[in-house]
Structure 1
């Protein structure tokens, strides 16, 4: 158990590109599978591993993250023995200083004043279930300065673009960090989750500031890879990187399949989230639902196929929805035909309309729109 470890949820990196899609909220707060937010996975992995002290570094668009994370009680963070701090740095979304080293520097006193010997740093845009106590055991057994979690993937040409890949020497020692440009199919991809001594982490922050005011943590790790003993620990189960609109869309469509979901969700490793007291979904007499995930509070009277329907969504008779993500509070009236689309929260589609995108470029409707 990692009771002597400070858990840090990092901000999204410079390889995360969503453009105008859901720009009103940070990636941490993106809805997922009609029930979760992306940050739930990082916080649950840390909490389940025994961490009791947390720091969540937030983006400029922090409101949704604050509302969802709250006091952290739903992540089993004990209010008497545990602490949770929601921290921010650059509040301007266009600031050139919107990177993690700057965020750590502006809040360095919280890191220096921690009584924990180790830190675990992980972002929220990688989705997986991992017992980090096993990573810590390996970290200690190998006498590593830094241990990085990675995944051997076979789809690096299409996914994980812009992520770091690892080059290994002997005995899993990392000798180089490289950027994935989609040139090779099979690559060991860094999940940007690092375990190290808290003093080592502080040293890296100070080193990065001496090199460049625009450095990221992964930049200074790349530069100093020969100065630390950096070891890799392989994650063996399901991993998704949510760093583009296409990956956000396709990952959820992929996880509609129950066998695939079982690779991510383990019965002995719960992913905690904020609960809702919505009533069960209501299906009308003409509802036709195939291979979809339907959340509580939804009211379905139309056709839904291979889609994720969030809470409190109303789908009237005569609506056809295929391969789409419908976020919470959306109303879709008769005559709408939606395929390969993301409909953001509280949007009302009240006129007959065809909305069709593609798997690589899904259509997107902003929140609170009337169409």
Structure 2
């Protein structure tokens, strides 16, 4: 049974209220927890479920996503048979119908025709979780289901298990049935047996700035961290060879997650620091997310903020947001004390 599943990741989703973080990258490539991207969680879950063929369907700004995943080597998907596949949307101006767009799939039907896996798991790219899909398949078979929808607390997680042949049929007959995506089929009165699988683990949808911010800080809690980053089911990501972070004399770190390659002179509390970040003397960072290669000068105060990659903060700058409305600084911008006065 371990080789029956085909992995399909829909990476076309765009949320307007995340645009400050996704103007130059797809949602799937959004950094998370200092060294990961959102897609790492669903992709790692598929790999741990013995899925050996994964198709990714991106749409907007997917260059950074392709650069992150490469050949799939870090996930063990660089193989001669099956492996990792990219199928960008040929219709960039067409709005996404929902997870599992049949129009997008139709442009790449050859992949499904050639697949040897009898069943397919169709998943979104924006849920933080660590899941084994094999029990979903087992329940699907035991219950004689046509489609199984994965839920948590009765709410859909936008993940669906379906027989590959039925998926092909739905795609080919979409113009006659009017179904545009998997949700249409599940919510309709279609003559199919629709089942649900209640997922009991942790799962967080990243569909807004507050959701991204609050979920990021949640993983600083040891219980959440242990439930999400399971030792026997690690979350894989792109490997970068960087030196350990250097903590200079006088640096203070409290309840923080710090990636490699950084240089810290100031104070970091309840925050996430990504790779290659530089923090100057006298600077205090609280309740914040600092992404890769940000440079923060001396005697700054940053509270409840999200700094995207390559942001430069000049010395003496004060930046404050709130837990409900964190301050977001876009990629590559410069923030100075005079600008904020």
Question: TM-score with structure 1 length normalisation?
Answer: 0.85
Is the 2:273–2:289 contact (alpha carbons within 8 Å) kept by the matching residues of 1? yes
Distance 2:60 2:79 in 1: 26
1:223 aligns with 2:188: yes
1:105 aligns with 2:106: yes
User: 1:108 Cα deviation (Å)?
Assistant: 1.9
Question: Matches of residues 244-259 of structure 1 in structure 2 within 5 Å?
Answer: 244-259=208-223
Question: Matches of residues 4-153 of structure 1 in structure 2 within 5 Å?
Answer: 4-13=4-13, 17-90=17-90, 92=92, 95-99=93-97, 100-152=101-153
User: 1:90 Cα deviation (Å)?
Assistant: 4.5
Distance 2:160 2:142 in 1: 16
User: 1:278 Cα deviation (Å)?
Assistant: 0.9
Distance 2:32 2:25 in 1: 13
3-state DSSP class of the match of 2:215? helix
Q: Unaligned regions of 5+ residues in structure 1, if any?
A: 153-187
Measured against aligned partners, the alpha-carbon deviations of 1:72-110 in whole angstroms (never above 9, x if no partner) come to: 111112512332111111464xx2344423211221222
Distance 1:123 1:132 in 2: 14
User: 1:323 Cα deviation (Å)?
Assistant: 0.4
User: 1:350 Cα deviation (Å)?
Assistant: 1.7
Is the 2:127–2:204 contact (alpha carbons within 8 Å) kept by the matching residues of 1? yes
Q: 1:360 to 1:91 in 2, by over 3 A?
A: farther
Distance 1:363 1:54 in 2: 36
Query: What is aligned with 2:338?
Result: none
Q: 1:30 to 1:47 in 2, by over 3 A?
A: same
Is the 1:341–1:362 contact (alpha carbons within 8 Å) kept by the matching residues of 2? yes
Measured against aligned partners, the alpha-carbon deviations of 1:37-90 in whole angstroms (never above 9, x if no partner) come to: 110111111111111111001121101110011111111125123321111114
Give the length in aligned residue pairs. Answer: 332
Distance 2:289 2:55 in 1: 31
Q: 1:241 to 1:12 in 2, by over 3 A?
A: farther
Is the 1:292–1:307 contact (alpha carbons within 8 Å) kept by the matching residues of 2? yes
Query: What is aligned with 2:159?
Result: 193
Distance 1:356 1:42 in 2: 33
RMSD between superposed Cα atoms in Å: 1.8
Distance 1:352 1:201 in 2: 57
Query: What is aligned with 1:206?
Result: 172
Distance 2:234 2:16 in 1: 26
Is the 1:89–1:102 contact (alpha carbons within 8 Å) kept by the matching residues of 2? no
3-state DSSP class of the match of 1:220? helix
Measured against aligned partners, the alpha-carbon deviations of 1:282-318 in whole angstroms (never above 9, x if no partner) come to: 1111111110001111111011110000000000002
Q: 1:355 to 1:216 in 2, by over 3 A?
A: farther
- Higher mean Cα deviation, 360-369 or 74-83? 74-83
